[in-house]
Structure 1
Amino acid sequence: MKFTQLTGENIYYSFVSGANQVIAQKKVLNDINVFPVPDGDTGNNLASTMETIIEEAKVDANAYRTFQSIADAALTGARGNSGIIFAQYINGISDSLADEDVISIRSFAESVKNAVPHAYSAISNPVEGTMITVIKDWAEAVHSKWEQAGDFYELLSHSLETAMESLRQTTEKLKVLKDASVVDSGAKGFVHFVEGFAQFLKTGEMEKLKRQDEIIDFGEHPEHVHDHFDQRYCTEGLIAKDGLDLDRLKEDLAGIGDSLIVAGNSRKARIHVHTNHPDEVFMKLRSHGRILQQKVDDMKSQYDAIYNRKYPIALVTDSIADLPKEWMDHYQIHMIPLNLMMDDTAYLDKVTITSESFYKLMDEVETYPTSAQPNAKVVEGILSSIMSHYDSIIVVTVAKALSGTYQTIANAAEKLRQQGKKITVVDSKQNSGAQGLLVMKAAEWIHEGKTHEEVVSLLEEKIPKTKILVSVNTLKYMVRSGRVNKVTGVLGKLMNLKPVISLDENGMGTILDKAFSIKGNTAKIKNRIKAMEEEYGNLRYAIVHAGSEKRAQEYHEIFKGILGKEPEYIMSISPIVAMSAGIGCAAVAVMSDEKGKTA
């Protein structure tokens, strides 16, 4: 079958064939991913980008409109450094094409070459020897050979040879690739896409998903992988606004990290950057347009799971558990963020919005923020990725009675169990610092070498002996969040009520004690802690707060005196917890540890 021009249907099925080829190579691409960071997810990101193209692009009789639809889908679904570069390049081709029913060989050749500067312009610091170099070399080969080509397959097959040679040379162009004895992962993904695209033009049939061992071997196994993370989080966002200025957007984000890519058009932009402060990225993006999507990957955590795993059991919790980041890093604890809805945007709790940034916005927004459980597909993706590197998973969630998070994670876990995977989801019946103490204890048991079943059993025993006591300074925020009705709020304000909030044995919120001053409130919490110390003995405790460092320090002195030891930690609470309890609240979480603290 000879294609001398491409219809809308030809274009779509060529893309599907190329996309299938990339998806088939997902694991290989992950395995050789060492640049710009060795986080092992280039295959996942390119596959996700391709899947969105397949699912969302629409076939039109007009080839130009079909290509536009593909370009829009690529931008919407773009993931990772390579996925966004690919999407920007496809958008560049789309912008260069004329609005015609069919695409000629000449028009195609000119557009793929003209789109190269468009792709380069999106990258703040283009690095040769990567995907962008292979794209450039391939495009130049296409443009140089179009007049001699009898049909599209002949053109693509000849230019594919150039792309493969360019791919081989990536190992020599970048030291990090040479040290690891691999080619660039993103570049390899692009070559596979061209392979699949060309295959359709040869046969008129979509490329089926191939076994990975049928593909040319370019060196699949890294021998030396660097572990330097100057910037920890791979941060991505999608924003929309008529009249977007991509250059101004790029300037605004300059200096916030590295590997910055701003791809898109005057209506929509996909942003990618490696940074230590993803929350700052999204605070800046708020001023440029409506934030449609947010995604942040912890590259250090991904690296540790692949190359530096400490334990056979993965411990996972959600963002409601308040536990210091350095502690989570030490025990390699994974976190699933909940969503905080504000101004029609879903921010990732503790990730794209922190307590500090949230407090600044809390009294400015017209509609009070709300919380939402994690997206089911996101949870499935997180757990599936973790499971690929561990023997089993234990997840400790926020109280089921407080959030649908437990059920969302339990549903995802059940899908993994049906695949023969070992995973247990534990309802902590707690939140905040109390949930954090339980996760801390579970991590210590895993560190001691206890089995999966032992850790789960011990956790179930420990939950009833764990408590959080929250001193609420004002009921204003609990009324606004819907945790307390307005009548109670008005009465509380008139009476200067300072309640002690806790969770009951089922994890439901409850007013444990009532006081009419901070002093009286503190006295009631002290009495509760003393009673628990007498009943259980050897309490471990943590102090958490919402923008109230002074009260946290007061608690430090009080409970150090009562319990005769330092707190495990003092920290600011999750923005979602702060949304309900309110700015100015402080809490002490306690857990019985009869056998003593693990060294």
Structure 2
Amino acid sequence: MKVTHLDGEKIYYSFLSGANEVISQKKVLNEINVFPVPDGDTGNNLASTMTTIIEEAKFEGSARETFKSIADAALIGARGNSGIIFAQYINGISMGLKEDDRISISTFAESVKQAVPHAYAAISNPVEGTMITVIKDWADSIYSLKENAADFYDLISGSLDAAINSLKDTPNKLKVLKDAAVVDSGAKGFVHFIEGFARFLHTGKIEELNKDSFGGISFEDHPENVHNEFNFRYCTEGLVQNEGINLDSIKKELKDLGDSLIVAGNESKARIHIHTDNPDEIFMILRNYGIIKQQKVDDMKSQYDSIYNRKYKIALVTDSIADLPRDIMDEHQIHMIPLNLMMEDTAYLDKLTITSENFYDLMDQVEEYPTSSQPNYKVVESIFASLTEHYDSVIAITVAKALSGTHQTVSNAAELFIKAGKKIDVIDSKQNSGAQGLLVMKAAELIEKGYDHDEIVDEINRLAQKTKIFVSVNTLKYMVRSGRVNKVTGIAAKIMNLKPVISLDENGMGTILDKAFSTGANTKKIVKRIKEIKKKETDIRYAIVHAGAEERAAEYESTFKEVIGKDPEYIMSISPIVAMSAGIGCVAIAVMAD
């Protein structure tokens, strides 16, 4: 039976068929991903985009409303360069549709062609030889076939030849593809989508969505001569929601903060993609345009290292509460799971989309004090999926489970892979901040020395009991605002000028260890504690962390270098989430009896 018009039902199921086809090709798309950076996640990003379409789009009855539902879902779920370009193109088609109940071949052809400039306009610097080129060539083919196509299947299947030829030609348009001897990954994903779309029009049967009966393409070569040049480190994405968003204004403000900029959207949503070294700057700008509904930051360097430049067979993971300098994490290829910091109805990614510096500026400005929440389960699952594919085993060291649900979230995600035969251990550090950082650093050193997985887990569990952190809190104002100290206690502390020493007990629970009534007396109490530890232990290593208190941190360095007899392992600013509770001006020393 010929399909001369597309109604809502046929559009809906054709899209689902196309989406399923892309998802089924995820692994191959990851493997050939070399542009714009070889971070091996184009398949993941396109699959995530398609999954959201499957889950969120609705059959609305009329063709136009169904297409609009799909376009909205694509924009909400868009991930990565290719996912966002695809979503923008689908939104362009949706906006160009005039017919309501059913869409004719002529209307469809006009819409897919007119949507091409819409997709190009979203990209700050369009590069030919990528998905956008294949989209353009496919749309031109559709437009040229519209007069002679017998029905929609004839139209779509006929246009596949043009799309496949365009895909095969991508290495001739983009040198990085020719050097790697692969076609463009995102473009290949688009061709697979059209392939699946055509399959449903041909069969009309949902049960055949994932079958391989329809003639397709392979191009399953692994890339060669993969480049390792990164202009910027983080693939950063956000979804902003508001009425009357000015997409051009967003693009103008962000264009000098990175590359691979795409600003896609419609009258109420903006999906942003950019490669940058400072994701926090991006989101400090975006918060002025509306409510930030989604945030995602991928460390492309870390992704590249996992695939092409692994130093070790064991992957080491920690969460963002562990305060450990970026250069040490890079040296040992340590992976980070960000917690969420909730502020102004937005979930910021700790240490990524919000840093200590811009958080301190906002702490006293916001009406409702920020809160924290554990990592997103899907984010953790995705990290484990990538690591278990490239490493023999994984060790994850989390913030004390007594302080956060992070340990349970990470454990739950790990269990999925453990049941599948992967070797993962999740360790409760019973610590936070610099103390957790020291444990992670020690685990990294043991991996480097060639210790086996189980030996490292046993040693870190042992050292967790011999690690402490002593926090000098400058004011209890922030602990009161965060709810960790009641207001009555806070008022009394202010009157008495109380300067408590905060620590964690053997189970990782926070406790007031000592009380002092001046900064000097507070420091003396911590010095006394350190001296007591030094009497019992022959080798101590330590770190100093602070919240916007560089001068006090420098004083600590001088004081404890004399007490302990060596330099600290590092000095750094603490996680915004830790600062949220401890407050601006706090300083801490973390010690580990090694």
Q: TM-score range by the shorter chain?
A: over 0.9
| 1:524 corresponds to | 525
- The residue aligned with 2:163 is 163
Paired position in structure 1 for 2:110: 110
Distance 1:67 1:83 in 2: 17
- Partner of residue 450, structure 2: 449
Aligned to 2:27: 27
Distance 1:424 1:486 in 2: 40
In the alignment, which residue of structure 2 is the partner of 1:597? none
- After TM superposition, give the deviation of residue 387 of structure 1 in Å: 1.3
Q: Shift of residue 377 of structure 1?
A: 1.8
Question: Residues 211 and 374 from structure 1, CA distance in 2 versus in 1: closer, same or farther, beyond 3 angstroms?
Answer: farther
Whether the aligned pair in 2 keeps the contact of 1:259 and 1:272 (CA below 8 Å) is: yes
1:197 corresponds in structure 2 to: 197
CA drift at 1:211: 6.8
1:549 maps to 550
Q: Which amino acid letter does the alignment assign opposite residue 64 of structure 1?
A: R
Corresponding position: 1:144 with 2:144: yes
Counterpart position of 2:14: 14
Rounded Cα–Cα distance in structure 2 between residues aligned with 1:260 and 1:252: 11
8 Å CA contact 1:2–1:202 kept in 2: the answer is no
* Residues 324-367 of structure 1: per-residue CA shift (max 9 Å, x gap): 00100110100000000001100000000000010010100000
> What whole-Å deviation, never above 9, does each CA across 1:112-141 have from its counterpart, x for those lacking one?
000000000000000001000000000000
Partner amino acid for 2:517?
F
Local SS of the residue matching 1:135: helix
Q: Separation in 2 of the partners of 1:445 and 1:425?
A: 16
For 1:99 and 1:214, locate their aligned partners in 2 and report how far apart those are by CA, in whole Å.
Answer: 32
Does the 8 Å CA contact 2:280/2:355 hold for their aligned counterparts? yes
For 2:215 and 2:38, locate their aligned partners in 1 and report how far apart those are by CA, in whole Å: 25
Find the aligned partners of 2:426 and 2:157 in 1 and give their Cα distance.
Answer: 51
Q: Which moved more, 1:78-87 or 1:241-250?
A: 241-250
After superposition, give the CA deviation of every residue in 1:426-458 in whole Å (9 maximum; x if it has no partner). 000000000000000000011111111000000
C-alpha RMSD of the superposition: 1.2
Matched, 1:91 2:91: yes
Secondary structure (helix, strand or coil) at the match of 1:388 reads helix
CA distance in 1, matches of 2:454, 2:216: 42
**Can you give the 5+ residue segments of structure 2 that lack an aligned partner in the other structure?**
none
Counterpart for residue 487 of structure 1: 488
Q: How does 1:303-342 map to 2 (within 5 A)?
A: 303-342=304-343
CA distance in 2, matches of 1:27, 1:220: 12
User: Are the aligned partners of 2:199 and 2:214 in contact in 1 as well (CA < 8 Å)?
Assistant: no
Residues 120, 132 of structure 2: 8 Å contact kept? yes
Pair 222,214 (structure 1): closer, same or farther in 2 beyond 3 Å: farther
Q: Is the 8 A contact 2:157 2:198 kept in 1?
A: yes
Q: CA deviation at 1:290?
A: 0.6
**Does the 8 A contact of 1:25 with 1:212 survive in 2?**
no
Instruction: Give the deviation of 1:210 after TM superposition.
Output: 4.7
User: Residues 207-222 of structure 1: matches in 2 within 5 Å?
Assistant: 207-210=208-211, 215-222=216-223
| 3-state SS in 1 of match to 2:431 | coil
Q: How many residues align?
A: 593
TM-score after normalising by structure 2: 0.99
Output one character per residue of 1:48-103: Cα deviation in whole Å (capped at 9) or x when no partner. Answer: 00010011000022000000000000000000000000000000000000141001
* Distance (Å, rounded) in 1 between the aligned partners of 2:413 and 2:536: 38
Aligned position for 1:352: 353
Question: Offset of 1:219 from its aligned partner?
Answer: 5.0
Would the aligned equivalents of 1:24 and 1:212 in 2 still touch at CA under 8 Å?
no
1:203 positional shift: 1.2
Aligned match of 2:67: 67
Residue type of the partner of 2:64?
Answer: Y
The corresponding residue for 1:429 is 430
Residue 498 of structure 2: SS of its match in structure 1? coil
CA shift for structure 1 position 217: 2.7
AA in 2 matched with 1:57: A
> For residue 497 of structure 1, what is the aligned residue in structure 2?
498
1-structure distance, mates of 2:361, 2:499:
24
Tell me, in whole angstroms, the C-alpha distance in 2 between the residues paired with 1:217 and 1:576.
47
Q: Counterparts of 1:2 and 1:409 in 2: how far apart (Å)?
A: 52
| Contact 1:65 1:99 (C-alpha < 8 Å) held by counterparts | no
**Structure 2: how far apart are the matches of 1:147 and 1:54?**
32
Q: Conserved in 2, the CA contact under 8 Å of 1:23 and 1:209?
A: no
Does residue 406 in structure 1 map to residue 407 in structure 2? yes
- Partners in 2 of 1:517 and 1:537 — Cα distance? 31
Which amino acid counterpart does residue 160 of structure 2 have in structure 1? L
- Cα separation, 1, equivalents of 2:229 and 2:64: 44
Change over 3 Å in CA distance of 1:214–1:410 after alignment to 2? farther
Percent of aligned positions that are identical: 71
Q: Which runs of 5+ in 1 are unaligned?
A: 594-599
User: Deviations 1:193-222 (Å, cap 9, x if unpaired)?
Assistant: 000001111111235325799852325210
d(CA) in 2 for partners of 1:299 and 1:228? 11
